[in-house]
Amino acid sequence: MCSLAKDIGIDLGTASVLVYIKGKGVVLNEPSVVAIDKNTGRLLKVGAEAQAMLGRTPGNIVAIRPLRDGVISDYDMTERMLKEFIRKVTGGFHLFPPRIMVCVPSGITEVEERAVIDAGRQAGARRVYLIEEPVAAAIGAGIDITQPDGHMVVDIGGGTSDIAVISLSGVVASASIKVAGDQFNESVVKYMRRKHNILIGERTAEQMKMEIGCVYPKEEEATIEIKGRCLMTGLPKTITVNSTEMMEAFEEPVERILEAVHNVLERTPPELVADISNNGIVMTGGGSLVDGFDKLITARTGIHTVVAEDAISCVAEGTGKSLDSLGDMQDGTMNLSRRRQMN
């Protein structure tokens, strides 16, 4: 099928990739996983099909996540994955290559930035533009960022948590820390090993986080039955875990995120802090869906906190909405302070 050029917005996340097409909305939401044959280097599966293979592959097949902590760790695989996703959504042959806007963490270095631009170009884009995650998240959450009014966004993804104060379309103060959904999973694995002497996989940890994970005391205790390998006997073992234990497991990564929120507030001009106090804090990203996160931030900061309506696709939606202003932009980031550095 031949298609005219489309403008595409991509939320290139550590855990999942979301693709937004102008006029259609979010058309693809798949895990950032690729499966390849080690012997031939052939790409076998991408996305959800590859994720099902994680931790379950024979010797010659390897399932990998090409992004770590919000940035590209395996350039070649990221490029191939992007190419595959773009092919899926555009249906193959293009008369004109698409223009692509990709989301990046606010703490990204110039080298990492260049890697994203090059991967996008190699994957078949005519031009690649970058937008910082908190800015995209704010736009996607329906905040009018062009006003001289301070808004705080806390975007907790898979690899990074981005906290930013936005006013007049720019980032006033921000922090990007490599503590997010993946670290929550790792904390659960470590906790189960330490407390119950049982070894569980990443997928089981993810399931526990989604089903009974919480960071603020629940009114009603929830439990889940999980299976893993007992470290004493080496045999399969089934145990029941409750939500209070999950709260204990999450303690360290949650504290680090709260610390980052506090630091950003400390660096924010007082006028904007007053605005944030009125407007509240908006949370986006998959990590913000962990039960009670908004209540915990409200309790710690005294500022009313809400989770955005469509937290997971917020960043992709915002990236998509920014496609309308592509004409005014040059290659590179959308944030003006960064653009000045790049000139």
Quick: pLDDT tens for 92-106: 656 678 888 998 888
SS3 of 23, please? coil
pLDDT band with cut points at 50, 70 and 90 for residue 194: very high
> What tokens were used for 231?
């470290």
285: domain CATH number is 3.30.420.40
In a domain, 343, yes or no: no
| Phi-psi label, residue 47: left if phi above 0, alpha if psi -120 to 50, beta otherwise | left
Judgement on whether residues 198 and 237 belong to the same structural domain of the protein: yes
Over the stretch 150-162, which tens digit does the pLDDT of each residue have?
A: 999 999 988 889 9
Residues 123, 79: contact at Cβ < 8 Å?
Answer: yes
DSSP state of 286: G
Same domain for 35 and 110: yes
In the block, which residue shows the tokens 């000045």?
A: 340
Does residue 183 contact residue 208 with C-beta atoms inside 8 Å? no
Examine the fold and report which residue of 223, 249, 275 is the final residue of a domain before the chain moves on. Answer: 249
Do 52 and 118 fall within a single domain?
yes
* pLDDT score, position 187: 95
Total-model pTM: 0.85
Please check whether residue 102 lies inside any domain of the structure. Answer: yes
pLDDT at 334 over 80: no
Interatomic CA distance for residues 208 and 205, integer angstroms? 5
pLDDT band at residue 3 using 50, 70 and 90 as cut-offs: very low
Last residue within a domain, chosen from 216, 249, 282 = 249
Range in 114-128, 195-209, 220-234 with the lowest mean pLDDT: 114-128
* In a domain? residue 342: no
Task: Tell me: do 228 and 300 sit in the same domain.
Answer: no
Q: pLDDT band at 196, cuts 50/70/90?
A: very high
Helix axes 181-196, 243-266, angle to 10 degrees: 140
For residues 123 and 26, membership in a common domain is answered with yes
Q: What is the pLDDT of residue 335?
A: 46
Same domain, yes or no: 22 and 101: yes
Closest to 285 measured CA to CA, from 155, 130, 102: 155
Based on the fold, state whether residues 286 and 155 are members of the same structural domain: yes
Three-class SS of 63-127: EECCEECCEECCHHHHHHHHHHHHHHHHCCCECCCCEEEEEECCCCCHHHHHHHHHHHHHCCCCE
Do 118 and 207 lie in a common domain? no
d(CA 147, CA 152) in angstroms, rounded, equals 13
- Claim to verify: residue 303 and residue 236 sit in the same structural domain: no
Per-residue model confidence (pLDDT) at position 94: 63
Residue 2 belongs to a domain: no
In the chain, pLDDT over 70 holds for what percent of residues? Answer: 92
Both 86 and 156 in one domain: the answer is no
Number of domains in the chain: 3
Q: Which own/partner pairs from 75-80 qualify as long-range (CB within 8 Å, at least 24 positions apart)?
A: 75/115, 75/118, 75/119, 77/34, 77/36, 78/12, 78/115, 78/119, 79/119, 79/122, 79/123, 80/34, 80/43, 80/46
pLDDT tens-digit map of 279-308: 999 999 999 999 999 999 999 999 999 999
DSSP element (H, E) containing 191: helix 181-196
Q: What is the pLDDT of residue 227?
A: 94
Beta partners for 12?
A: 17
Question: What mean pLDDT value characterizes the chain?
Answer: 87
Domain hosting 127: range is 7-135+315-337
Q: What residues contact 92, with CB distance under 8 A and at least 6 apart? A: 1, 2, 3
Reported as a pLDDT band with limits 50, 70 and 90, residue 331 is very low
Distance in angstroms (rounded) separating the CA atoms of residues 341 and 343: 6
- Please indicate, yes or no, whether residues 291 and 237 belong to a single structural domain of this protein: no
Average pLDDT of the residues in 191-202: 93
8 Å CB contact between 116 and 319: no
Residues in a beta bridge with 305? 281
Residues 63 and 159 in one domain: no
| Exposure string over 234-256, b if 16+ CB within 10 A, otherwise e | eeebebebebebbbebbeebbee
- Could you tell me the two tokens for 12? 């290139």
Which whole-number Å values give the CA distances from 23 to 240, 320, 334, in the listed order?
A: 47, 9, 21
Q: What is the mean pLDDT of residues 229-248?
A: 94
The predicted structure's pLDDT at residue 54? 78
pLDDT of residue 93: 59
For the chain, report the end-to-end CA distance as a whole number of angstroms.
39
